[in-house]
C-alpha cells in the first residue's frame, strides 16, 4: 500500500528520473517504483539533483496487475514511464482502475491512445478518474500550440510539425521500432481516421526559425489526431516530425523496413523480442543530460479554415525535461483538485493549455508562442 500520493513507475529510466526531479521541485511526496530497489536507489542518488531534499520512498513491484494494484492502493496518481505502452501499459491502467488512481504516461504510440479510449475511457470517467496517456513534449507542447492557434475563430484544419535536437532514450528507441513495425498510423480527415500509406517516406519540410529544411516522418501518427478527434472545432489534423539530425532521420526508414521484414511470420512475443534486440543494437545507452544551449525543440502549427489562417510556433529546449515537468505538474494539479475533464483526456483538456504553457515558461523551457494571424 502506498504511503505517498504519487507513484512514478519506471523511475530509474531517463524520463522517470526527470519526473521525480520536478515532483521534488513541486514539493510533492512520491514513490519511485520499478523492478529493482538497488537500481532505483542508485538512479535516484546519482541522477536526480537535490534528491536528498525530496520526500520519497523506493518500492519494488512486479509487472502484474495484482502487484501494481497493491503498490497503488492509497495513492492518487500514477505517472507511468514503462513502455512500449501497447505492450506493457495494460497492467498499469488496470491497476489504476482497481486502486482508484489517476493515470498519466509519456507515450507517443497512437494505437495505445486509441485502445485506451476504447477499452478504459468510460470506466475511468465512471470512477471520476483521469486517463491521460501521451503527456510529453512531442505531443503536449504541440497540442498547446494548436490550441493557441485555435483561439482564432473559424479554423478547422491543423497541419502540425514537431522537431527537436537530441538523442532518443533507450526506451524511446524501442517504442519507435515497436510502433512502426506493429501498428498503423492515422491522420484525421473530416473527423475520421485515415491511414497513412505504408510507403510514406521522408518529407522535406520547413523548420521555422532556420534557413535549412528538415526531414520528417508521420512518426506513428502521434497523439494529436486522437485528441482532436474529440474536439468539435477540428475536422482535419495531420502531424509529422523528426530530429534535427539528417543522418539519423535518413537511416530511420531503412531500419524500420529491415526490422519489419525480419519479424514477418513470427509470433507476437517473438516479434517483441526481436524488436527489443534491434533497438538495443541501435541505441543501448542513456543520452547525456540535456543542455538547453544544444537540445532545442520547435513545435509548429498551421491552422486554417475557409477564410482564415493562423500560424503558432513554440520554441523551447530540453524536450525530455518538458516531458518530466508536464507529468509532475499534472500530478501536482490532481492532488489539489479534480481535472477539467475526467475519463480519457489530453493534458490540455484536463488542465488547460494556457496553464500548461505558463508552467513550461516559468521553468525556462519554452518561449512565448509566436502567433501570426491572417483573416
Encode pLDDT of 230-279 as tens digits. 899 999 999 999 999 888 888 887 877 777 778 888 887 887 777 777 76
Q: Is the pLDDT of residue 148 over 80?
A: yes
Q: Is the pLDDT of residue 345 over 90?
A: yes
Rounded to an integer, the average pLDDT of 117-142 is 97
Position 196 in a domain: yes
Asked if 198 and 341 sit in the same domain, the reply is: no
The reported pLDDT for the residue numbered 1 is 64
Rounded to an integer, the average pLDDT of 105-127 is 96
Containing structural domain, residue 330: 6-136+321-362
Asked if 289 and 252 sit in the same domain, the reply is: yes
d(Cα 64, Cα 311) in Å, to the nearest integer?
45
Asked if 85 and 234 sit in the same domain, the reply is: no
Asked if 70 and 144 sit in the same domain, the reply is: no
The CATH number of residue 258's host domain is: 3.30.360.10
Q: Is the pLDDT of residue 283 over 70?
A: no
Whether the link from the prior residue into 238 is cis, omega within 30° of 0, is no
Per the model's pLDDT, the better-predicted residue between 21 and 199 turns out to be 21
Asked if 208 and 260 sit in the same domain, the reply is: yes
Position 334 in a domain: yes
Asked if 230 and 162 sit in the same domain, the reply is: yes
Position 204 in a domain: yes
- The three three-digit cell numbers of residue 69, written as one number: 494494484
The reported pLDDT for the residue numbered 198 is 79
Per the prediction, the chain carries an average pLDDT of 92
* Nearest in space to 144 (alpha carbons), one of 314, 259, 316, 375: 314
Asked if 216 and 328 sit in the same domain, the reply is: no
Is residue 8 within 8 A of residue 61, CB to CB? The reply is no
Please, is 232 exposed, middle or buried when counting C-beta atoms within 10 Å of its C-beta (0-12, 13-18, 19+)?
exposed
Q: Could you tell me how many residues make up the chain?
A: 375
The reported pLDDT for the residue numbered 171 is 66
- The three three-digit cell numbers of residue 232, written as one number: 468539435
Given CA atoms 80, 351, 72, 28 in this order, what sign does their dihedral have? positive
> In total, how many domains does the chain have?
2
The reported pLDDT for the residue numbered 374 is 93
Asked if 341 and 283 sit in the same domain, the reply is: no
The reported pLDDT for the residue numbered 274 is 76
The reported pLDDT for the residue numbered 277 is 77
d(Cα 133, Cα 110) in Å, to the nearest integer?
10
- pLDDT tens string 299-343: 999 999 999 999 999 999 999 999 999 999 999 999 999 999 999
- The three three-digit cell numbers of residue 84, written as one number: 512500449
Rounded to an integer, the average pLDDT of 357-361 is 98
Position 121 in a domain: yes
Position 124 in a domain: yes
- pLDDT tens string 166-224: 877 666 666 777 666 667 899 999 999 999 997 788 999 999 999 999 999 998 899 99
Asked if 298 and 230 sit in the same domain, the reply is: yes
The reported pLDDT for the residue numbered 359 is 98
The reported pLDDT for the residue numbered 170 is 60
- How many degrees, rounded to 5, is the angle at CA 127 between CA 126 and CA 128? 95
Asked if 238 and 262 sit in the same domain, the reply is: yes
The reported pLDDT for the residue numbered 106 is 95
> In whole angstroms, how far apart are CA 241 and each of 161, 189, 216, 294?
5, 19, 5, 18
The reported pLDDT for the residue numbered 282 is 65
The CATH number of residue 71's host domain is: 3.40.50.720
Rounded to an integer, the average pLDDT of 90-96 is 98
Instruction: Give the percent of the chain with pLDDT over 70.
Output: 94
**Residues contacting 302, CB < 8 A, separation 6+:** 149, 158, 159, 160, 309, 310, 311
Position 1 in a domain: no
d(Cα 238, Cα 222) in Å, to the nearest integer?
9
The pTM of this model reads: 0.94
* Nearest in space to 80 (alpha carbons), one of 13, 138, 147, 127: 13
Please, is 159 exposed, middle or buried when counting C-beta atoms within 10 Å of its C-beta (0-12, 13-18, 19+)?
middle
- pLDDT tens string 26-51: 999 999 999 999 999 999 999 999 99
Asked if 186 and 164 sit in the same domain, the reply is: yes
Asked if 168 and 307 sit in the same domain, the reply is: yes
Position 343 in a domain: yes
Is residue 72 within 8 A of residue 101, CB to CB? The reply is yes
Amino acid at each position: 500500500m502506498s504511503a505517498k500520493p504519487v507513484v512514478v513507475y519506471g523511475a530509474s529510466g531517463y524520463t522517470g528520473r526527470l519526473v521525480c526531479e520536478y515532483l521534488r521541485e513541486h514539493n510533492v511526496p512520491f514513490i519511485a517504483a520499478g523492478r529493482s530497489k538497488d537500481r532505483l536507489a542508485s538512479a535516484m542518488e546519482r541522477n536526480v539533483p537535490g534528491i536528498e531534499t525530496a520526500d520519497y520512498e523506493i518500492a519494488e513491484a512486479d509487472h502484474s496487475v495484482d502487484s501494481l494494484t497493491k503498490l497503488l492502493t492509497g495513492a492518487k496518481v500514477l505517472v507511468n514511464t514503462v513502455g512500449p505502452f501497447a505492450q506493457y501499459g495494460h497492467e498499469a491502467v488496470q491497476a489504476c482502475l482497481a486502486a482508484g488512481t489517476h493515470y498519466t504516461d509519456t507515450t507517443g504510440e497512437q494505437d495505445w491512445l486509441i485502445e485506451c479510449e476504447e477499452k478504459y475511457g468510460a470506466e475511468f470517467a465512471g470512477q471520476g478518474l483521469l486517463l491521460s496517456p501521451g503527456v510529453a513534449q512531442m505531443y503536449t507542447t504541440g497540442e498547446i500550440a494548436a490550441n493557441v492557434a485555435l483561439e482564432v475563430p473559424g479554423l478547422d484544419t491543423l497541419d502540425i510539425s514537431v522537431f527537436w535536437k537530441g538523442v532518443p532514450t533507450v526506451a524511446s528507441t524501442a517504442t519507435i521500432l515497436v510502433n512502426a513495425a506493429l501498428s498503423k498510423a492515422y491522420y484525421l480527415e473530416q473527423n475520421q481516421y485515415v491511414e497513412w500509406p505504408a510507403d510514406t517516406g521522408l518529407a522535406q519540410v520547413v523548420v521555422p526559425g532556420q534557413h535549412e529544411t528538415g526531414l520528417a516522418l508521420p512518426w506513428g501518427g502521434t497523439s494529436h489526431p486522437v485528441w482532436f478527434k474529440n474536439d468539435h472545432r477540428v475536422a482535419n489534423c495531420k502531424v509529422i516530425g523528426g530530429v534535427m539530425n539528417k543522418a539519423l532521420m535518413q537511416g530511420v526508414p531503412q531500419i524500420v523496413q529491415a526490422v519489419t521484414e525480419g519479424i514477418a511470420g513470427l509470433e507476437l512475443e517473438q516479434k517483441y523480442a526481436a524488436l527489443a534486440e534491434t533497438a538495443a543494437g541501435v541505441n543501448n545507452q542513456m543520452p547525456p543530460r540535456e543542455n538547453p544551449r544544444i537540445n532545442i525543440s520547435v513545435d509548429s502549427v498551421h491552422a486554417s479554415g475557409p477564410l482564415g489562417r493562423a500560424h503558432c510556433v513554440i520554441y523551447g529546449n530540453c524536450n525530455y525535461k518538458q516531458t518530466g515537468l508536464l507529468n509532475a505538474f499534472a500530478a501536482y494539479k490532481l492532488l489539489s483538485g479534480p481535472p477539467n475533464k475526467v475519463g480519457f483526456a489530453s493534458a490540455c483538456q484536463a488542465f488547460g493549455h494556457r496553464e500548461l504553457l505558463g508552467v513550461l515558461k516559468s521553468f525556462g523551457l519554452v518561449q512565448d508562442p509566436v502567433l501570426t494571424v491572417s483573416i
